[in-house]
Structure 1
Amino acid sequence: MLTQIELNKIDRKTWSGHNHTEFCPHGSGENTELYIQKAIAAGFKTYSITEHFPLPPAFYKAVDPDGSRHAIYTAAMSLQELPNYFRKMQFLKQKYQQQIRILVGFEFDYFAQFRDWTAEQLRYYQQQIDDGILSVHFLPTKAGLRAVDESAVDFKTGVLNEFGSPLNVAKAYLTTIKQAIDWDIPYKPNRYGHLMLYRKWRNSFSSQTIWHDRSTVLQMQEILEEILKTGGFLDCNCAGLFRLTQTELSPTSDWLFKAQVKGIPLVFGADAHQVASVAQGYNTYLESKYYFGKKAKLTYATKTKLK
């Protein structure tokens, strides 16, 4: 895993930090080489491959039996596929090294009950991993783990049914994110993925639906403070801009700006699961100057003057 110092040296204006591959069971299945060629054409100079790391074997016994089978069994590749994954990604890293810097890594899922297992995987594979993201896709319920991002129907019958309201889902999700940030172990990824994934289905609800209040604002403030204190990065996840159910960044633009003001580095995240999505949202990322590191407080007016 690259060190914090090494990651900070990467030009974030031309770094694509969140991308999937043919090894993703819920992706398009297209050859990863096509993703890389698309990234080169889009002008990226650094490209992080962050496939979903295999889930703990115990995960499959800890899920809600009424949850989406698709969400459970297509969440990540299997452990048996890791040798082929490393072999293929290292081959591409070498093949394209004169055109683009490829960082081989993973998007890891955070589960409080499986932290020991995940810590052991990070330790075991750390020499083969350049970069990583730590994310939350599942929340614990009384019946077992349920996906947040599978479908609006699964969201409503699962986590919404458990927590009672979108606002309470938000609180539970942000609590889990804070746990992931506070988790202090060697080799842990220090970039945090789509902090507001729970809003993926917001347009499926009434415009009067409450998704945030003073409590969630305080949670987000604490999250940003802890990321800043630990020298972490934020995934500026642009995939939601193009979902009719979401139509926004994750985290939302106001929180991305607050993160910048604090000096938290933002890394462009297409969260590409198909070749066509490799540069999705990149123009927004550039136009909003999210790649700038902020060492002093700015206003929206001064921000627009930056080159």
Structure 2
Amino acid sequence: MPGDFHVHTQYCQHGADDKMEAYVLQAIAKGLTHLSFTEHAPLPESFTDPAPHHDSTMDRNKVEAYIMEGKTLQKKYKNDLQINIGFEVDYIRGYEQETQTFLDTYGPEMDDGILSVHMLQAPDKSFFCIDYSEEEFGRAADAFGGLTPLYLAYYNSLTSSVEAELGLFKPKRIGHITLIQKFQLAYPKPADFLEVQQHLIEIIKKKGYELDVNTAGLYKPLCKEIYPSAELIAYAEKLDIPLVPGSDSHAAAGIGKGFEQLSAYSLQLPQGLHI
């Protein structure tokens, strides 16, 4: 396994208090060669976090400390592990310019990055964090007028994220593209979205982007499935889209969790990284 390329830290307001160094030591103990810290980038300043506890991302005032701590660890463990510092950036339709401003500012410091969709705007203009909780997901479905329009809004937003102009430092890896299914055992998928999903993957291919193969869903009690599903991973492989493994760990013990279930796939390093 080349490494774990989707990892959060103590700077995440909804994660564990484990220090970044604990993640590094866990990665070394597991025999990984690479580790990418991809902390949730701060949301746009004019955007209000819709999560009930407003804890979706890191504190904007701690970005510099996060980068500095990462660079210190890069130097300390340079002979044991390639450590990459970056962000998981939220794509929120209508906030592209602010998102690009953040990327223009911190992009030169980024070794790796992920572009994801967590926030969706309902027809009544209210926003929802669709992976926050089962209850919030139910509220979102009501606000969108049902599960089908909610799913379609999610995939439309993902498509927009891939096509969006976000500047030179836009992340080229698209995160957990079936996150909308996090609560699928409580809210069964209302239809077969395979055609929509395959179209998204085709756009990812056209752009030359990568796919986050994310094991976190396996351990979500109402999901029990990798993001994306095996069927979609196979389709991405058929198109020769780079598949990059990530645990989406929010605690040190989660590094590489579930990676044994990825052994059948041809996994790769993120573009621009090396052995």
Band of TM-score, shorter chain = over 0.9
How large is the RMSD of aligned CA atoms in angstroms?
A: 1.5
TM-score (norm 1): 0.83
- 1:221 corresponding residue in structure 2: 198
Note if contact 1:16-1:44 (Cα within 8 Å) is conserved in structure 2: yes
- 1:202 corresponding residue in structure 2: 184
**Quick one: distance in 2 between partners of 1:249 and 1:211?**
19
Structure 2 residue runs without a partner (length 5+) = 270-275
Distance verdict in 2 for CA 1:196–1:91, change over 3 Å: same
Once the two structures are superposed, the pairs formed by residues 75-86 of structure 1 within 5 Å of their partners are: 75-86=56-67
Structure 1 residue runs without a partner (length 5+) = 1-12, 294-307
Helix, strand or coil: the match of 1:43?
coil
- Aligned match of 1:92 in 40, 48, 73? 73
Shift of 1:289: 2.3
Name the count of aligned residue pairs. Answer: 267
> Given the alignment of the two structures, is residue 108 of structure 1 paired with residue 89 of structure 2, yes or no?
yes
Q: Deviations over 1:12-55 (max 9, x none)?
A: x3121100001000001111111111111112111110000011
- Aligned match of 2:173 in 188, 191, 207? 191
Q: After the TM superposition, which of the residue ranges 191-200 and 39-48 deviates more from structure 2?
A: 39-48
Note if contact 2:181-2:189 (Cα within 8 Å) is conserved in structure 1: no
- 2:2 corresponding residue in structure 1: 14
- Aligned match of 1:122 in 78, 103, 109? 103
TM-score (norm 2): 0.93
Shift of 1:218: 2.4
Shift of 1:292: 6.6
Note if contact 1:22-1:29 (Cα within 8 Å) is conserved in structure 2: yes
Distance verdict in 2 for CA 1:128–1:292, change over 3 Å: closer
Helix, strand or coil: the match of 2:201?
helix
The structure carrying a bigger helix percent of its residues is 1
Shift of 1:116: 0.1
- Letter of the 2:30 partner, please give it: A
Helix, strand or coil: the match of 2:185?
helix
- Letter of the 1:285 partner, please give it: L
Shift of 1:97: 0.8
Shift of 1:177: 0.2
**Quick one: distance in 2 between partners of 1:255 and 1:119?**
29
**Quick one: distance in 2 between partners of 1:31 and 1:210?**
37
**Quick one: distance in 1 between partners of 2:268 and 2:55?**
36
Once the two structures are superposed, the pairs formed by residues 228-307 of structure 1 within 5 Å of their partners are: 228-286=205-263, 288-291=264-267
Note if contact 2:40-2:58 (Cα within 8 Å) is conserved in structure 1: yes
Distance verdict in 2 for CA 1:231–1:156, change over 3 Å: same
- 1:212 corresponding residue in structure 2: 191
Percent pairwise identity: 31
Helix, strand or coil: the match of 1:134?
strand
Which is greater in Rg? Answer: 1
Q: Deviations over 1:103-130 (max 9, x none)?
A: 1000000011110011111111121111
